Amino acid sequence: MKVTVDTNIIYQALHSSVGASHAILQLIRAGEVQLSLSVPVFEEYRDVLYRPKTIKETGLSREDMEKVLDFIAFVGVATPIDYLWRPNLKDESDNMFVELALASGSEYLITRNIRHYTIDNELILDAFGIITPCDFLQE
> Per CATH, is 2-134 categorized as 3.30.565.10?
no
- Those residues whose C-beta lies under 8 Å from the C-beta of residue 113, and which sit 6 or more positions away, are 6, 8, 94
% of the chain surpassing 90 pLDDT: 73
**Residues 41-64: pLDDT tens digits?**
999 999 999 999 999 999 999 999
pLDDT band (50, 70, 90) for residue 135: very high
Query: pLDDT at residue 9 above 70?
Result: yes
Note the pLDDT tens digit of each residue in 74-126: 999 999 987 666 656 767 788 889 899 989 999 999 999 877 776 666 666 67
Q: What is the length of the chain? A: 139
pTM of the full predicted structure? 0.90
Report CA 36 to chain centroid distance, whole Å.
8
Identity of the residue numbered 74: F
9, 112 contact by CB (below 8 A): yes
